[in-house]
Structure 1
Amino acid sequence: MKWFRTVSASLALMLLAGCVSKGAQEAQWIYPPMAVPLQNSVQQEVQIARLTQLLQRQDLSDKVRTKMLNDRGNAYDSVGLQDLARLDFSQSLAIDPKQPDIFNLLGVYYTGVDQHDAAYESFDTALEMNPDDIYALRNRAVALYYGERPELALEDMKALDEKTPNDPFNALWSYIIEYDINPEQAKQQLLNRYSAHNDSWGWTIVALMLDEVSEQQAFTFILEHTHDNQLLAQRLTETYFYLGKRYQMQGQLAHALSLYKLAISMNVYEYVEHRYSFLELERIFKQVRDDKAAAEKAAKQAKEQEEKV
């Protein structure tokens, strides 16, 4: 999900997804459902080249230069060149600092690279300029979660629920954040929200998170209702990320690692689920290193105690 701002699928789509049918009533996944990874288009590359040429002109007004920097920054971001995008957005803010949307974008970038203080500052600035920015509010809650401030994150999520009730992605992040504080209460809250869900696509992921549907049922639903490769890539990116979170919260780190890598593989660069998959991978690797170091230290201390005896 980008936060800034009935019958079976066709044979080609089923093959693309890695699903092999076994009779009319049964299907087994041989490979994980996939979309063709999104590729940079000629139009995107031409846009970047043209804007780069135009930005070399000295006769541009501040207003025009700011817009061009933002346009090129968004173009860079859409092809995965996040550092170049950040530089353009920073230059744009240097010319015109009254741009809450750009502060929100920078906050997402800082969250993804674990620069929590910079992320908080960016989101705070965005919300000071535009208190009704629901994306900045949710993004700040997520940043607070990754910064290990779940209580503050939940305050933002509660404020967000008042502005946009019955949003499945709000429900998912409220659950993820509250799980660190009270797992049983978090699950009950999510069940309550799911019981009043609407037809929005994201509730399928909520059902998957709650085990209300199986993984095969969820992916079958996605494949049967998604006949466009770009939309398929986007939905699979979201699904793999939140399914990875579910396994990670259950302590099944090997499954979580694989799912985060699948979320990354679709190349849906603009989605926070793509960005935060890298962050989750780093957190898992760190946890494994820390656990290994602790185990080695404990073993060493036990050996020393045996030698003393």
Structure 2
Amino acid sequence: MKRAVFSKQTSLVFGLAMSALLISGCAVSPSEPAVNGSSEENIEVAGHRDAQLYLVEPLPADQNMEIELLQLTEILYSADLDDEQRASVLHRRAVTFDYLGLKTLALVDINQAIELKPDMADAYHSLGIYFAERGEYNGAFEAFDSVIELNPNHDYVYLNRGLAAYYNGQFSLAMSDFADHYFQNIEDPFRVMWYYFAAKEIDSGRAEEQIREQWQQANGDAWGQKILAYLVNEVSEDDLIREAFAGSDDQTQLNYRLCEAYFYMGKVAAAQGQNYNALNYFKLALSTNVYPYLEHRYARSEIARLRESIRTEQD
């Protein structure tokens, strides 16, 4: 799954077969009820009478992931593991905790994994994400730098170090990392988005030209390109939301898509000075309970930035 920012290297020792996430359900659209009794609802946004927010039922805790936790814990307590094997299982359990939103428990396992295997790049990567999400940027940079030293070709380290720099206000550093991440796969629309967000903080005019040059060739993910089309004003908010419903096979996929849609709608609203509208979008992203997506992780950072901006304006 391309949007989660933890590493996906999840193999277990002793050939443990992990359960696949298989959720089936009815296709949902704005014109028909969603599964579990959820339905499209419109609410008025402060200051924008015509704005429509489509509410979605938050995802429940995944039973397969809870079972996985039990299996991993059983291995840790009952299996005869060497330090490297124990570190691998601890890191896998940390990732599972994180998917369930249990951040502190994830951190405990990450630290134990690093103690057992100090050269474990994935564990440092997870540690960096944890620090960045909490706004502890010095710790995040140290962890991500360790990842690059141990594994310069890590798939997501430049994205996540770029996110830490972006939310710490170091936009030139963020743009450099986002550029490295973008050029690893120029067809990924989400890489275009973050390159654009950082560039916009440095030279707004050039950033607008750049995203116009890049967005059409970034066609490696149809849903992601629809969000890009929204960012370049080729589709409306209503079109984006309707596409999220129409392209979702079940409630889980709908939540994934709406988490992303709400977040980027919030980014646009904030850029237009619609702070209260943006706050509601970021809160809606949080309401999906899609914990591993970066859009869920950094919705709180966006809310904090907006509240600070509102306070500054009121002073």
Q: Give the TM-score, by structure 2 length.
A: 0.83
Residue number in structure 2 paired with 1:4: 6
Matches within 5 A, 1:248-263: 248-263=270-285
Structure with greater helix share of residues: 1
In structure 2, the residue corresponding to 1:11 is in which secondary structure? Answer: coil
Give % identity. Answer: 31
The verdict on how the C-alpha distance between 1:55 and 1:197 changes in structure 2, with shifts beyond 3 A counting, is closer
Matches within 5 A, 1:9-48: 9=29, 11-13=32-34, 16-18=38-40, 32-48=53-69
| Residue 8 of structure 1, CA deviation | 8.7
Whole-angstrom distance in 2 between the partners of 1:197 and 1:89: 34
| Residue 136 of structure 1, CA deviation | 0.6
- Which letter does structure 2 place at the counterpart of 1:180? E
Q: Give the TM-score, by structure 1 length.
A: 0.84
Tell me, yes or no, if the aligned pair for 1:244 and 1:260 is still in contact at 8 Å.
yes
Whole-angstrom distance in 1 between the partners of 2:309 and 2:91: 37
> Which of 225, 231, 237 is the equivalent residue of 2:259?
237
Point out where structure 2 has 5 or more consecutive residues left out of the alignment: 8-26, 43-49
- Which letter does structure 1 place at the counterpart of 2:251? N
Deviations 1:71-119 (A, max 9, x none): 2212211110111101101110110022212211111111111111111
| Residue 30 of structure 1, CA deviation | 9.1
> Which of 53, 76, 79 is the equivalent residue of 2:97?
76
Q: How many residues align?
A: 284
Whole-angstrom distance in 2 between the partners of 1:215 and 1:58: 52
Residue number in structure 2 paired with 1:217: 239
Range that drifts further, 197-206 or 173-182: 197-206
Tell me, yes or no, if the aligned pair for 1:13 and 1:227 is still in contact at 8 Å.
no
Tell me, yes or no, if the aligned pair for 1:120 and 1:140 is still in contact at 8 Å.
yes
Aligned Cα RMSD in Å? 2.4
| Residue 124 of structure 1, CA deviation | 1.0
Point out where structure 1 has 5 or more consecutive residues left out of the alignment: 21-28, 296-309
| Residue 56 of structure 1, CA deviation | 4.0
Whole-angstrom distance in 1 between the partners of 2:116 and 2:28: 53
Residue number in structure 2 paired with 1:128: 149
Matches within 5 A, 1:105-254: 105-198=126-219, 200=221, 201-254=223-276
Whole-angstrom distance in 1 between the partners of 2:110 and 2:150: 17
Tell me, yes or no, if the aligned pair for 1:241 and 1:273 is still in contact at 8 Å.
yes
- Which letter does structure 1 place at the counterpart of 2:195? S
The verdict on how the C-alpha distance between 1:60 and 1:166 changes in structure 2, with shifts beyond 3 A counting, is closer
Residue number in structure 1 paired with 2:20: none
Please list every run of at least 4 consecutive aligned residues from structure 1 whose deviation after the TM superposition is greater than 6 angstroms: none
Residue number in structure 1 paired with 2:76: 55
Larger gyration radius, structure 1 or structure 2: 1
- Which letter does structure 2 place at the counterpart of 1:2? A
